[in-house]
Structure 1
């Protein structure tokens, strides 16, 4: 019976340890504070503006002003609420407090203020790299005969000679 008591005690310790680990999850209020100091609502505005520009190009028949309200005040609240569980899943309450402290610091605030411009510049660099990389790879494929001069697979329907109109083979 001593082994049974020991196993029960060990099981109880495991349950208690698991319970304390669950207690370390950040509260919704902590995550909301973190999102505020990270200026997440402003990031939603940037996302909204990018999406509105894209949709205006794709659907010119719809006024651009229509898309400007895609992420409105209600949308910001809904999106924030939807994101909270992800933060709670990946960060402990202690880590969220550390992040809040960092983002409230001068360096954290500089990161928040400079991140949109930094990401825009990085995206441009990534796009430029991607265009060059694609061109280089297409050139290699063309040189190796895998692609034709128009960047298509040789012998595809676009390159083949049309069949005779009577439907019979050549």
Structure 2
């Protein structure tokens, strides 16, 4: 997994910039915008991201939603286009909905529940998050190599794109 075609390695297989397409991803509340900014920061701070093929990293990623599909526009660091992948959001819809529901339960529990109840809900929340990350990794298989932590951060960002505030 560490070596790609053309001898590139995962050390160069990383994202240095993530941009959200303003035209397809509407602006939201300040809280949601903050969550999106944090998700992007965390993703850029630590990631392993390498499109399959003969591409030189590091990479830039532009995310958009077109006709209810998630579009990954990947460019090389200098801005030269590398490849674009379009993913159906359908396999992720239920897990995103489940994740939102368990997050609501978690935030409610923080206000009214015992530490053990909060911990149990948080474990469930992390489990759903991991499930969503694995589905995303499966959807990216053969297109983009990512490690689990990067998939988790991408899943967080994809969820942030759906938050209504």
Q: Which of the pair is proportionally richer in strand? A: 2
Scaled by the length of structure 2, what TM-score is found?
0.22
Scaled by the length of structure 1, what TM-score is found?
0.21
Larger Rg: 1
